[in-house]
Chains A and B, each alone.
Chain A
Amino acid sequence: MSNAAAHPVGPGAPPPAADPPRAVRGWVGQALNSVAKRFGARIGMAFIGMIAFSAVFAPFLASSHPLLLKMDRQWTSPAMKHLTPTDVTLLVGFVALLAVAPLRNVKFSHKLAQILGVLAFTIPVALVMAKPPRAVVYDQYRQAANDGRVQFVLNAPIPYSPTDRLRDQFDADRPHPWAPSTAHLMGTERNGADILSRMIHATRIALAVGFIAEGIALVIGVTIGGLMGYFAGAVDLLGMRLVEVFSAIPRIYLLLTFVAFFGRNLYLIMVIIGLTSWVGYTLYTRAEFLRLRKQDFVQAAIACGLPLRSILMRHMLPNGMAPILVNVSFGVASAILAESTLSFLGLGLVDEPSWGEMLNQALSAGGGFYWWLATFPGLAIFLTVFSYNMIGEAMRDAIDPQLQRASAL
């Protein structure tokens, strides 16, 4: 739009004034702003940001593959060569986020669409291009260094991959697990894997389970709840029965059953967590839509002849989104706990490190209590869930100023 100040229109137009430096914030913007001012929410967001950073840069933070290597007078980058399609997608997505986020005067939905567009292009390319070697020998680099074939090496900050069992450093007098030391900051597991490295790589599962499972739950819950609230009557009645059926399903037992029948599959676990946790969103959305559909601006939108899709998605959903968003942050926390529970019970993933699976290791280590096996993954789960809850509480206070602040932070 052109500069408004250039054309004062109508009688009594104010004298040309400079445009305000910042676009006027909408209601959602104001709420998010007040969330960002809360100390607890800031700590929570900082921690989640750190987790997200670790998840994206895991192959460069903790890897047995050197970032840069000059071996036999040849420069190579084994870390780059061993990138998986997942790594590439995450990295490209992060770069896209960095590129788009600082743009002003671009709507949030447009930014999101741009990032999703970049990812949609990246994923097939990454699947074709990124082909890490199948068989990996982690100790080849240490072996080569011992043999004096390496002229220059730049290692990752934690030079151990999560599945590097340190076979070359086997020592019968000093069996794993090793206590924390300068070489292994959080010690090692019984099979010799570095715990810090596993912790860093496990952030991916924690984030993925939280976001994908809750994303599924959110889409189902908001759709069903929105239709129930808007149409009310018979639709509402049927929807409520569906809600009752699903709220009666015990999530953990269902997960155990599915894992027993279909094997250990992370995506299956995410889908099941999603399919069993939409009930809460449905109830919130339904309540909001029942309230909103009687509001004048919704009536006005209908009287303008707008189609149902626009009324539901554009006019009602953003106004009813606030309590649902609060619930998302609590839901993400509970999804992470569900996955950890499953892994702790030994029914999670086999190869990929996850915090719950590491707790299980601590339990089955045998031969004594190795505090580092349980403390670090336990602390990580606790802090992540705590962070999401802090953000959720700040959001709840931001959208409902009449409510007493839930906590001092």
Chain B
Amino acid sequence: MTDEHPLLKIEDLAVSFPATDGSDRRVHAVSGVSLSVYPRQTLAVVGESGCGKSVTALSTLKLIPTPPGRHEHGHIWWSGDSDGGQPTDLLSLSEKQIRRVRGNQIAMIFQEPMTSLNPVYTIGEQILEPILLHQKAPRGQAVQTAIDALTEVGIADPEARLREYPHRLSGGMRQRVMIAMALACQPKLLLADEPTTALDVTIQAQILELLRKLQHERGMSILLITHDLGVVAENADVVAVMYAGRVVEYGSVRDVFSKPLHPYTKGLLASMPVLGDKRTRLATIPGQVPNPTNYPTGCPFHPRCSDRKDDPQCAAEHPALLEVREKHWAACWHAPGYDQAKATTPDLAYRMALQT
């Protein structure tokens, strides 16, 4: 396991958009994000809305419209193209080349199952199109692939479903169809952008259970974007906590949940409801997510930080993401051991023991 190569390695990615106030300034939605996803690993990217989670995922497939968006610097190395070959930088691919990766090697499922299916086509037509495109299979075989994919995601009577229009399916079924579409081409990496946010709790659990099962069966990697820490705890191997366009803490799910280093992570964990706890109010992080056009100087979290709010260093200098403990990275001046931390890129092949 030591000389394993990551499947996807995002290095120092920065994405900017023009400011909406009409000035020439550019807003950095993501600045200097590094993370890596290993085969069969689930990496969860956690953070509040607007912290750059989705932009990171969309950049992986070059789905950020450029212009107005711009990739300022960084690389996204992808090793899933051919076995043993050199990793390719997805950001440097042409539109034609990236199209071969989209849906085929890296698939994506979106947040809103109600609007992610085209209302004018049947389920079958929508599943078949990418299969016919990427696998160049004859139609009969593609239909069989589609039926298998629908069966796999637990849709009853898949052959009849193929002929139905999306408006006849419930939200949970549509999300299953989306997953079936994403999986039909056997991708190596699945980008799941808040796949369960729009669903009710019982369906959420079913969908996550399904994703876990499929990952186990297919040896697929998942980049899970969410703001639900409960989902993270149950599904992720490695967690990247993002705040204001940067990764502020990175480590295995066990380390991050049991020994959080960054005050933001601590705040997030404290604000989770605990079953049986008699407290009437949940803990909150004071203040609001800073506006991307006007990030505070120094550590972007310092105005809201409950630990050392008045430390002049926090307001003056931005802390880098350093390996504070063994295989546990954090970006906080006051993390214990930060002054002796090693400057390494976050890279962790850890996987939770499989429990089924």
Contact = CB atoms under 8 A, between A and B. Distances in A.
Interface of A: 1-2, 4-5, 7-14, 23-24, 26-28, 233, 295-297, 299-307, 310, 314-315, 318-319
Nearest to A303: B108
Contacts of B309: none
A23 B63 CA distance: 36
B133 A305 contact: yes
Contacts of A10: 151, 154-158
Contacts of B178: 300
27 contacts: A1-B163, A2-B159, A9-B151, A9-B157, A9-B159, A10-B155, A24-B122, A26-B121, A26-B165, A233-B67, A295-B115, A296-B115, A297-B117, A299-B63, A300-B108, A300-B110, A300-B116, A300-B117, A302-B102, A303-B63, A304-B103, A304-B107, A304-B130, A306-B99, A306-B129, A318-B120, A319-B120
Nearest to A308: B95
Contact of B102 (A24, A28, A304): A304
B18 to A, nearest CB: 11
A27 B165 contact: yes
Given A24-B168, A28-B120, A302 B155 contact: no
Nearest to B61: A303
Nearest to B154: A10
B103 A14 contact: no
B108 A4 contact: no
Given A27-B165, A306-B130, A319 B159 contact: no
A315 B125 CA distance: 11
Contact of A307 (B63, B99, B101, B122): B99
B181 interface: yes
A297 B100 CA distance: 19
A7 B143 CA distance: 15
A291 to B, nearest CB: 12
Contacts of B143: 1
B11 interface: no
Nearest to B120: A318
A52 to B, nearest CB: 27
A233 B67 CA distance: 8
Cβ-closest 5 pairs across A and B: A305-B102, A304-B103, A305-B103, A4-B159, A4-B160
B42 to A, nearest CB: 19
A19 to B, nearest CB: 8
Nearest to B118: A297
B230 interface: no
Contact of A299 (B98, B110, B134, B159): B110
Interface residues of B, number: 46
Contacts of A12: 156
A297 B121 CA distance: 11
Contacts of B112: 296
Which residue of A299, A300, A314 has the most chain B CB atoms within 10 A of its CB atom? Answer: A300
Nearest to B158: A9
Nearest to B57: A303
Interface string B90-101: 000000001111
A13 B155 CA distance: 9
A302 B61 CA distance: 9
A315 to B, nearest CB: 6
Given A12-B156, A23-B163, A305 B130 contact: yes
A7 B118 CA distance: 27
Nearest to A319: B120
B119 interface: yes
A4 B157 contact: yes
B41 to A, nearest CB: 21
A306 B157 contact: no
A199 to B, nearest CB: 40
B104 interface: yes
A300 B162 CA distance: 18
B164 interface: yes
Given A24-B165, A304-B129, A307-B99, A297 B115 contact: yes
Which residue of A28, A305, A319 has the most chain B CB atoms within 10 A of its CB atom? Answer: A305
Given A1-B143, A10-B155, A299-B63, A305 B165 contact: no
B129 to A, nearest CB: 6
Interface in B72-99: 98-99
Contacts of B111: 296
Interface in B18-32: none
A377 to B, nearest CB: 41
Contacts of A24: 122, 163-165, 168
A300 B155 CA distance: 21
Contacts of B63: 299, 302-303
A322 to B, nearest CB: 10
A295 B104 CA distance: 21
Contact of A306 (B120, B133, B167): B133
Contacts of A7: 159
Contacts of A2: 159
Contacts of A301: 118
A5 B134 CA distance: 30
Nearest to B114: A296
A27 B147 CA distance: 24
A302 to B, nearest CB: 6
B50 to A, nearest CB: 17
Contacts of B163: 1, 4, 23-24
Contact of B157 (A13, A27, A307): A13
A296 B116 contact: yes
Interface string B13-56: 00000000000000000000000000000000000000000000
A93 B162 CA distance: 34
